[in-house]
Structure 1
Amino acid sequence: MTADPDDSARKVELALDLLAHLEVDELSVADAVDRIETVTTNPTLTREILDEAEKRGIVDREGGRLRTRRGGTFVRFESQVVRREGEFDCRRCGCGLSTGHFIQFESGELGPFGSSCIRKVTGRES
């Protein structure tokens, strides 16, 4: 089975949106990968996302650290995070959820996340 290039491009854009909206000034590459894995677990695509984030000026890479260059951009919980009731599994930790939190980006929707994982993924909480 071959990867759908349109799906890969969509995942890259979604992960770039996520990285551009992180509420931290600096994080380890491992922590960035933890966030990217909410979009894709494909190692090749993860490397592509990190390279593209650097090319577009979203992050600066130095050793094993990334400095974000978000310029005041962050997830607005009041308008960009939608809560839905239902049966979900958190994209970050895999726990079962009765309320899912979904982030609305221009490139698409990312989620569901639990109430604590949504804060960790966006960098609002470490």
Structure 2
Amino acid sequence: MTELSTRDEKLELGVELLAHVEREALDLAAAVDRIETVTTSPALTRDILDAAEKRGVIDRDGARLRVNTGGTYVEYESQVVAREGDFDCRRCGTSISTGHFVQLDAGELGPFGSSCVRKVTGRESASESE
């Protein structure tokens, strides 16, 4: 599992992950689900949301977020790398033999199973409320 060493690295990765979500809007719970792949700290989760809003990555309207990055989606061919091994999915905890790692400017995030990587990037809904 890729581990981030500092709070600042986690903050940057969380903001960048939100910037790459493939949806124009999502609910707060879905955003937190994605951020929890970076950190489970409630304080850092709030800081990531605040930083994303201050940088214009998102606009918050109650429990809904609007993503303002228009077209900066994760490119699966170049930014998602699959590696064989013995992994636990960073999102759901399931044991997997193929880990999918998302390569972002702020760092690498993963491993994820094949369906969780799509949910984390927003390519597939994690819930009907999105």
The TM-score normalised by the length of structure 1 is 0.94
Q: In structure 1, the residue corresponding to 2:110 is in which secondary structure?
A: strand
- Tell me the SS of whatever aligns to 1:110: strand
Q: Which residue type is aligned with residue 15 of structure 1?
A: G
User: What is the match of residue 3 of structure 1?
Assistant: none
Partner amino acid, structure 1, of 2:25: E
Structure 2 residue 45 is the aligned partner of structure 1 residue 30: no
Q: Work out whether 1:107 is the aligned partner of 2:106.
A: yes
Give the aligned residue type for 1:24.
Answer: R
| C-alpha separation in 2, matches of 1:73 and 1:106 | 12
Q: Distance in 1 between matches of 2:119 and 2:18?
A: 12
Question: Matched residues in 1 for 2:59 and 2:77: separation?
Answer: 29
- Given residue 120 of structure 1, which amino acid in structure 2 is its aligned partner? K
**C-alpha separation in 2, matches of 1:104 and 1:39:** 13
Q: Distance in 2 between matches of 1:121 and 1:105?
A: 13
Give 1:116's aligned residue.
115
Provide the rounded CA distance (Å) in 2 between the counterparts of 1:82 and 1:69: 26
Match in the other structure for 1:40: 39
Unaligned runs of 5+ in 2: 126-130
The one-letter amino acid paired with 1:79 is S
1:55-94 alignment runs, 5 A limit: 55-94=54-93
**How far did 1:44 drift?**
0.3
Question: How much has 1:65 moved relative to structure 2?
Answer: 0.3
RMSD across aligned positions (CA): 0.7
In the TM superposition, residue 70 of structure 1 has moved relative to its aligned partner by 1.2
Shift of 1:71: 2.0
How many residues in Structure 1 have an aligned counterpart in Structure 2? 121
In structure 1, list runs of 5 or more residues that go unmatched: 1-5
What amino acid sits opposite 2:19 in the alignment? Answer: A
For 1:109, the aligned partner's letter is: E
Separation in structure 1 between the aligned mates of residue 40 and residue 74 of structure 2, nearest angstrom: 23
- Residue 59 of structure 1: how far off its partner (Å): 0.3
